[in-house]
Structure 1
Amino acid sequence: MATTSWTRRVATLVRRALSPGRATPGRDGTAALPAQTIAGRAPADFTGTVRTSYAPHRDGVADPGEIVWTWVPFEEDPSRGKDRPVLVIGRDSTWLLALMLSSKEHTATTPGEQHPGQRWIDIGTGAWDSRRRPSEVRLDRVLRIDPRRVRREGAVLDRAQFDLIARSRPGSRSW
């Protein structure tokens, strides 16, 4: 039986999906990471002063103002997480600094909200979500993201929305 280009591509994808250290999807769409990869993929959240400017460039490198997809650890258990869109807002040495997006509604009265006091802002719909669901950006948690783990599926956030998010963040006068 002759090997076709299509079967080679499928075989490559299967090998990549089953390779050691790869995140394993859970029943709820989350992923558990092997313990040895946690430190490399889930650094501590950023707590310093974020200094950034709106500077998106379609050059294959994530820049402030761009929404990209990456693996984001859960706060309550950093060994688990979820693939989700994030808004890049700056850099910290080799890390990207980003705010996570969610299509879930977050309000003070949302039943089952696990962390009272979280701050979210609506940004509407965009190309970062294939189903065009309305999204919100979490303002009070700045993630450190490994640039090598970023997928370039996303969009550029419009300047007015980026500026609104910058002004709405806790400690926004430092922007």
Structure 2
Amino acid sequence: MSSTGSSTGLRGTLRRMAAAIGLGRRAPGPTPTAPSRPVPAPPARRGLPDYRGVPVMEYAPHPDGRGAPVADPGEIVWTWVPFEEDPSRGKDRPVLVIGRAGDAVLALMLTSKDHVQGGDVHTRHGDWLDIGTGPWDPRRRPSEVRLDRVLQIDPHAIRREGCVVDRALFDTVAQALKAISPTRHTW
């Protein structure tokens, strides 16, 4: 038997023995995740350009999965979000659906990265609003919504439903979106 073969056999035996007596078990708690790295979007995910108009926002959630990939205003869902600087790359992330434009869903992206340090909504990386924690993040990390970039999303590109936000939170986001200075908007 080769040294590789015996090593693999011995290693496997040791792993089974350690598992049997409980060695190497992780303590309960959040599961660490790999660092989120941008990846190229598959051709089917390249999506629509950002919305350039003033969105009509409505609160109308129907968490139903009506037999079609439908996301309603007031729901947080997951989808591919292209990066502004390179739309061929991006990442899967939660978005708050705020309305529709034709067949497209209009949404604002969420992040758990803290952009609103000290309550300042305007940053050099966009306009952000703290929205707290919720079931859209399995680790219940505080989240922020980006106000200065309205995404247009093909309804068929939405991966899964996350949750419905309450009316008060949706109205807070809508008011903040309306209040942003026109010089800060990307639309």
Normalising by structure 1, we get a TM-score of: 0.72
What is the aligned partner in structure 2 of residue 169 from structure 1? 177
The 8 Å contact of residues 70 and 150 in structure 1, kept in 2 or not, is answered as yes
Aligned amino acid, residue 88 of structure 1 = V
The code of the aligned residue for 1:52 comes to: M
Which of these residues, 134, 141, 146, is aligned with residue 138 of structure 1?
Answer: 146
- More deviation, 70-79/162-171: 162-171
- Identify the match of residue 81 of structure 2 among 52, 72, 78: 72
Percent of aligned pairs with the same amino acid: 60
List runs of 5+ in structure 2 lacking aligned partners.
Answer: 1-33, 181-187
User: Are 2:101 and 1:92 aligned?
Assistant: yes
SS in 1 for 2:171: helix
The structure number with the bigger radius of gyration is: 2
What's 1:59 paired with?
A: 64
SS of 2:148's partner is coil
> Are the aligned partners of 1:103 and 1:135 in contact in 2 as well (CA < 8 Å)?
yes
Q: Tell me how far 1:149 sits from its aligned partner.
A: 1.1
Task: Report the residue type matching 1:76 in the other structure.
Answer: E
Q: Given that residues 108 and 116 in structure 1 are in contact (C-alpha distance below 8 angstroms), is that contact kept between their aligned partners in structure 2? A: no
Post-superposition shift, 1:170? Answer: 4.2
| Cα separation, 2, equivalents of 1:27 and 1:123 | 23
Match of 1:103 among 104, 107, 112: 112
Indicate if the aligned counterparts of 2:116 and 2:130 stay in contact, CA closer than 8 A.
Answer: no
Distance in 2, Cα, partners of 1:129 & 1:147 = 21
CA root-mean-square deviation: 2.2
Provide the secondary structure at the position in 1 that maps to 2:156.
helix
Instruction: Please list, as runs of the form range in 1=range in 2, the aligned pairs for 1:113-128 lying within 5 A after superposition.
Output: 116=124, 118-128=126-136
Three-state SS of the structure 1 residue aligned to 2:76 is strand
| Count of matched residue pairs | 139
Q: Show CA shifts across 1:90-112 (max 9, x none).
A: 11111100000000000378xxx
Distance 2:178 2:58 in 1: 17
Change (3 A) 1:104 1:146: same
Determine the structure 2 residue equivalent to 1:41.
Answer: 46
Contact 1:30–1:81, Cα closer than 8 Å, also in 2: yes
Structure 1 stretches of 5 or more lacking a match?
1-25, 110-114
